[in-house]
């Protein structure tokens, strides 16, 4: 089935959902923290360097090379420095909040496809972060 981008009821509701997100004060807070991070060149550099260092260390481990204590200490020092930066922490928290919102939306859509109806609160019982048996929320 192909949806007409202008008139499909699904697309109209998606636009309404997007508007509700944009109008939510939590969304504004997320955007503010992301923008602050993106505008702070030093914090972005620290974040990127830590990610690159982490990927490099992970790659070494995956290829069977044992990490030195100096490499581990250096990484931990850089990580601690980043985590003590309020702009970086705001960005990390904003990313986590965005992920939670996306997961919530995806769970509802997935459950709707599975059930063939609008899911109720009971349909998500056991689907909070630990997911119980019988849960099919996709986590």
CA–CA distance, 36 with 49 (Å, rounded to integer) = 18
The token pair that represents 104 in the structure block: 């919530």
Q: Provide the 8-state DSSP code for 130.
A: T
What was the pLDDT predicted at 125?
87
Nearest to 46 by CA among 55, 37, 58: 37
Q: How far is CA 41 from CA 76, 90, 96, 107, in A?
A: 21, 15, 21, 36
Q: Would you say the C-alpha torsion 85, 86, 87, 93 has a positive or negative sign?
A: positive
Asked if pLDDT for residue 65 goes beyond 50, the answer is: yes
What was the pLDDT predicted at 132?
45
**pLDDT tens digits, residue range 28-59?**
999 999 999 999 999 999 999 999 999 999 99
pLDDT tier at 90, thresholds 50, 70, 90 = very high
Percentage, residues of the chain above pLDDT 70:
86
Nearest to 43 by CA among 34, 31, 55: 34
* Mean pLDDT along residues 120-128: 80
End-to-end CA distance of the chain: give it in Å, rounded.
Answer: 27
Domains and CATH numbers, the chain: 9-124 (1.20.1500)
Asked if pLDDT for residue 92 goes beyond 70, the answer is: yes
| SS3 of residue 134 by DSSP | coil
φ/ψ of 138, rounded to 5, equals 90, 5
């Amino acid at each position: 089935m192909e949806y007409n981008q202008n008139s499909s009821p699904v697309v109209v509701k998606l636009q309404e959902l997007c508007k509700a997100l944009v109008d939510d004060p939590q969304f504004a807070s997320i955007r503010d923290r992301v923008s602050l991070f993106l505008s702070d060149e030093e914090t972005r550099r620290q974040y990127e360097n830590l990610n690159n260092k982490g990927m490099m260390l992970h790659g070494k481990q995956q290829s069977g090379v044992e990490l030195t204590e100096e490499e581990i200490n250096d990484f931990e020092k850089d990580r601690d420095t980043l985590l003590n930066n309020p702009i970086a922490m705001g960005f990390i928290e904003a990313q986590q909040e965005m992920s939670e919102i996306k997961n919530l939306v995806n769970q509802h859509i997935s459950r709707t496809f599975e059930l063939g109806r609008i899911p109720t609160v009971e349909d998500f019982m056991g689907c909070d972060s630990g997911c119980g048996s019988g849960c099919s929320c996709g986590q």
